């Protein structure tokens, strides 16, 4: 997903922009660009602004756009203008083109990493985009839904477009509406466009000022005594400040090197509060691990502990933060869970767990389906939206749909202050910390922990479990981190096994019940980072078609932790083995009969069956990681994927 950074302050902007964009690389991108304001009082009065403005040969991707009169290159920072440099491909190309930012002097700028939606990845389609009369530069994350109609209209009015993007319409609209008052121009654009946007904007005649606005796409503001920032996500500016404000939906922000002002869409100034992000830079960096994914796999014990332990006291689950009384909880007659991807697999696990523990029926939907299916739900249904980023477009739309229909929505979210966190009626934060790797691991584990806590709290409120059962379950929940640590100690066995299968064409996962939910996650993890075709099946379904795919040497991973389903799964493993499959068994210590059928077995510590998914997922994550590593792939940034899917 696109990434935005902006800085205005008492340092050179371009190196800070490049640094911030690098921290946003995890979102996935195909091109990048920066725009830096040149000239004007703010720039010339700032530290380092007098640095020689040496320009190399102009290229299609590098141009200086000015406030009015045509100009080539601005020297010395006196004439207000905006210099834009863009590059297709990795950020290092942009770094090279700008001598790590040194060749684009100026203390106020915006930067962007693009993940193509409208128009192929190319220099001309990359951001920043600008208006033809060279007064405005814009970076954008999101989608302008009515861009074609606006583009047609503006073209008739004489504006000419050079890119295939929706964003360029915003640049021209701003130009059209701008008559010296940026807030007014932005507000008029907000009324004119439909869709989602986080925008960073420079006006050439206002050097030293950045304008930002957002609707349904994330954007934060950071402040420090060295200057002020905008960014799509916290890690981009964590090196400079932890004092941040998540810009409320439909608000406009004006930043100068010393001041930040917020405005609503009616152009009235409004007050906003800043909060301290307690993540440290270290937590957003690799810290000695080869990849963020491996680091995050290793952070799981801590992440689960951080999520679970503050919610348990003296054997009881405390759900007070939901703002729901015991009576409110007892009244919940049904739960509707919605999410995407891995978070959806958490919901699958939740279905088994909540139904067994609280005897409350749970429906699970993909957010992208839920939002359009006009759902029929009972009156006292609690809608639970699960999301790491809190910005996933489909999940957010599902939340809004549920609220529109009058249901109470609980968000299980990792990113504090994100859209889902703000719009849900109740929020249950997972304390996983920043997750950088595109493939989720630690956030997934904390989401599982969150649904366990919810199931126990609900079970108790409904009188389905007694105090003793609650104590037993919470005690085991508190032991899970240590059990995950034990699995991690055996990573070499998994690594060895993974190396044998890194050249597979297809890999299948089978399981039943809770183990089926884990199989789905194991399969997704593998396919998304190793590019090996993989599917997960509820093992009972094999005979209904899939078994015809089994042939000699194909790897089938069987997950079996539940006593009542163990023998059934073993039979399914025998069936695939007798058709030539190589079988990997994943089970709990003690289930040694697995070895009678599996070619290779991975054991996880024993736990209560309802929590087994938290343990079986760890070897499956490691399997995916080492298979992808064996293929020499970019584990943290798999092709075509982005960390935060903020468009539909
Ligand atoms: C897979 C993965 C994705 C996300 C999905 C939802 O490893 O990370 O499938 O789980 O895109 O994202 P969030 O949780 O941010 O809503």
Topology at the third CATH level for domain 490-633: Rossmann fold (3.40.50)
Buried-exposed string 502-533: b where 16+ CB fall within 10 A, e elsewhere? bebeebbbbbbbbbbbbbbbbbbbbbbbbebe
Ligand 1 closest atom vs CA 395: 16
**Residue pair 135/204 in contact by the 8 Å Cβ criterion:** yes
Q: What spacing in Å lies between the alpha carbon of 645 and ligand 1's midpoint?
A: 8
> Do 3-277 and 284-487 fold alike per CATH?
no
- For residue range 429-462, what is the model confidence (pLDDT) as tens digits? 998 888 889 999 999 999 999 999 999 999 999 9
Q: How many angstroms separate the alpha carbon of residue 345 from the centre of ligand 1? A: 10
**For the residues of 283-310, what is the DSSP string, one character each?**
GGS-TT-SSHHHHHHHTHHHHHHHHHGG
Q: Could you tell me if the CB of 523 is within 6 A of ligand 1? A: no
In angstroms, how far is CA 1 from the centroid of its own chain? Answer: 9
Counting ligand 1 atoms within 8 A of each CB, the residue from 338, 366, 392, 411 with the most, and so the one to mutate, is 392
CA separation for the pair 493, 60 (Å, rounded): 52
Instruction: Report, as ranges of residue numbers, the positions in the chain whose pLDDT lies below 70.
Output: 1, 26-28, 40-78, 117, 133, 279-285, 287-288
Report whether residue 620 contacts ligand 1, using a CB cutoff of 6 Å: no
Expressed in angstroms and rounded, the spacing between residue 440 Cα and the centre of ligand 1 is 6
For residues 139 and 222, what is the distance between their CA atoms, to the nearest angstrom? 17
Query: What pLDDT, on the 0 to 100 scale, is given for residue 646?
Result: 77
H helices of 502-546, where?
Answer: 514-530
- Atom from ligand 1 closest to the CA of residue 443: 14
Neighbour-count burial of 539, counting CB atoms closer than 10 A to its CB (0-12 exposed, 13-18 middle, 19+ buried): buried
**CB 387 less than 6 A from any atom of ligand 1:** yes
Q: Which atom of ligand 1 is nearest to the CA of 389?
A: 15
* pTM attached to this predicted model: 0.69
| Ligand 1 neighbourhood includes 528 CB (under 6 angstroms) | yes
Nearest-angstrom CA–CA distance, 508 and 523: 7
Decide if 286 is catalytic: no
The response to whether residue 61 sits with its C-beta less than 6 Å from ligand 1 reads no
Can you tell me which atom of ligand 1 is nearest the CA of 441? 7
Tell me how far the alpha carbon of residue 377 lies from the centroid of ligand 1, in angstroms.
25
Distance 322 CA to ligand 1 centre (A): 23
- How far, in Å, CA of 185 to CA of 368, rounded? 34
**Spacing, Cα 291 to ligand 1 middle (Å):** 18
Angle 426-473-327 from CA coordinates, rounded to 5°:
40
**Strands 600-604 vs 582-588: parallel, antiparallel or unpaired:** parallel
Question: Using CA atoms, how far apart are residues 209 and 223, in angstroms rounded to an integer?
Answer: 14
Residue of 107, 124, 139, 113 whose CA lies nearest to 31: 113
- Give the distance between the most distant pair of CA atoms in the chain: 81
Question: What are the residue boundaries of the structural domains of the chain, listed by start?
Answer: 3-277, 284-487, 490-633
Looking at ligand 1, which atom is closest to the CA of residue 525? 7
Which atom of ligand 1 sits closest to the CA of residue 644?
A: 15
Q: Is the CB of 368 under 6 A from ligand 1?
A: no
- Give the Å distance between the CA of 588 and the centre of ligand 1: 27
H-helix or E-strand spanning residue 189: helix 182-192
* Second CATH level (architecture) for the domain 284-487: 3-Layer(aba) Sandwich (3.40)
Q: How far apart (Å, rounded) are the C-alpha atoms in residues 50 and 36?
A: 14
pLDDT tens digit string along 216-253? 788 999 999 999 999 998 889 999 999 999 999 999 99
Say if ligand 1 is within 6 A of residue 430 CB: no
Compute the C-alpha angle 428/430/431, nearest 5°.
130
Residue nearest to ligand 1 atom 16, measured at CA: 387
Ligand 1 contact, 175 CB (< 6 A): no
* CATH placement of domain 3-277: 3.60.20.10
Per the CB < 8 A criterion, the answer to whether 635 and 533 are in contact is: no
CA angle 23, 28, 30 (to 5 degrees): 110
d(CA 6, CA 619): 40
pLDDT at residue 72 in the model? 32
Phi-psi region of 48 (alpha: psi -120 to 50; beta: other; left: phi over 0): left
Active site residue 577: no
List, in sequence order, every residue forming a beta bridge with 228; answer none if it has no partner: 8, 223
């Amino acid at each position: 997903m696109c990434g935005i950074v902006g800085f205005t302050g008492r340092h050179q902007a371009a190196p800070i922009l490049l640094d911030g964009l690098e921290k946003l690389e995890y979102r996935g991108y195909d091109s990048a660009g920066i725009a830096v304001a040149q000239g004007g009082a703010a720039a010339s009065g700032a530290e380092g602004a007098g640095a020689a403005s040496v320009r190399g040969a102009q290229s299609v991707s590098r141009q200086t756009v000015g406030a009015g009169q045509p100009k080539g290159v601005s020297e010395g920072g006196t004439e207000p203008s905006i210099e834009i440099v863009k590059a297709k491909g990795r950020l290092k190309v942009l770094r090279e083109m700008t001598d790590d930012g040194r060749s684009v002097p100026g203390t106020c700028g915006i930067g962007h990493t693009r993940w193509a939606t409208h128009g192929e990845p190319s220099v001309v389609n990359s951001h920043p985009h600008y208006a033809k009369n060279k007064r405005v530069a814009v970076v954008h994350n999101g989608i302008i839904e009515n861009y074609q109609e606006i583009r047609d209209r503006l073209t008739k009015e004489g504006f000419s477009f050079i890119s295939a993007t929706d964003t360029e319409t915003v640049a021209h609209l701003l130009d059209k509406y701008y008559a010296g008052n940026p807030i007014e121009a932005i507000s008029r654009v907000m009324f004119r466009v439909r869709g989602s946007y986080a925008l960073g904007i420079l006006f050439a005649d206002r050097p030293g000022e950045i304008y930002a606005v957002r609707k349904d796409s994330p954007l934060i503001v950071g402040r420090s005594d060295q200057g002020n920032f905008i960014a799509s996500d916290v890690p981009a500016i964590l090196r400079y400040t932890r004092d941040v404000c998540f810009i409320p939906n439909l608000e406009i922000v004006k930043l100068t090197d010393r001041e930040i002002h917020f405005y609503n869409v009616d152009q009235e100034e409004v007050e906003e509060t800043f909060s301290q992000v307690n993540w440290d830079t270290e937590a957003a960096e690799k810290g000695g691990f080869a990849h963020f994914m491996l680091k995050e796999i290793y952070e799981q014990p801590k992440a689960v502990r951080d999520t679970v332990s503050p919610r348990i006291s003296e054997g009881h689950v405390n759900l007070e933060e939901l703002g729901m009384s015991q009576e409110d909880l007892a009244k919940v007659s049904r739960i509707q869970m919605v999410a995407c991807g891995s978070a959806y697999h958490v919901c699958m696990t939740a279905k088994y767990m909540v139904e067994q523990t609280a005897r409350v029926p749970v429906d699970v939907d993909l957010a992208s389906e839920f939002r359009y299916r006009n759902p029929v739900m009972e009156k006292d249904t609690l809608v639970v939206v699960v999301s790491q980023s809190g910005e996933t477009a489909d999940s957010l739309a599902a939340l809004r749909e549920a609220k529109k229909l009058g249901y109470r929505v609980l968000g299980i979210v990792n990113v504090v202050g994100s859209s889902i966190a703000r719009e849900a009626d109740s929020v249950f934060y997972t304390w996983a910390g920043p997750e950088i790797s595109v493939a989720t691991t630690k956030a997934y584990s904390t989401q599982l922990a969150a649904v366990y806590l919810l199931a126990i709290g609900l079970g108790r409120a409904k009188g389905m479990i007694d105090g003793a059962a609650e104590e037993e379950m919470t005690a085991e929940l508190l032991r899970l981190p240590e059990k995950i640590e034990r699995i991690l100690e055996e990573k070499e066995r998994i690594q060895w096994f993974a190396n044998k299968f890194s050249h597979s064409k297809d890999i299948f996962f089978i399981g039943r019940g809770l183990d089926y939910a884990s199989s789905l996650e194991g399969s997704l993890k593998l396919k998304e980072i190793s590019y090996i075709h993989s599917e997960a099946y509820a093992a009972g379904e094999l005979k209904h078609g899939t078994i015809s795919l089994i042939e000699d040497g194909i790897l089938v991973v069987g997950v079996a932790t539940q006593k009542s389903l163990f023998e059934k799964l073993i039979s399914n493993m025998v069936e695939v083995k007798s058709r030539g499959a190589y079988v990997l068994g994943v089970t709990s210590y003690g289930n040694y009969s697995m070895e009678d059928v599996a070619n290779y077995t991975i054991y996880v510590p024993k736990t209560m069956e309802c929590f087994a998914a938290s343990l079986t997922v760890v070897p499956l994550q490691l399997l995916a990681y080492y298979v992808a590593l064996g293929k020499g792939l970019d584990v943290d940034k798999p092709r075509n994927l982005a960390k935060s899917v903020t468009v539909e």
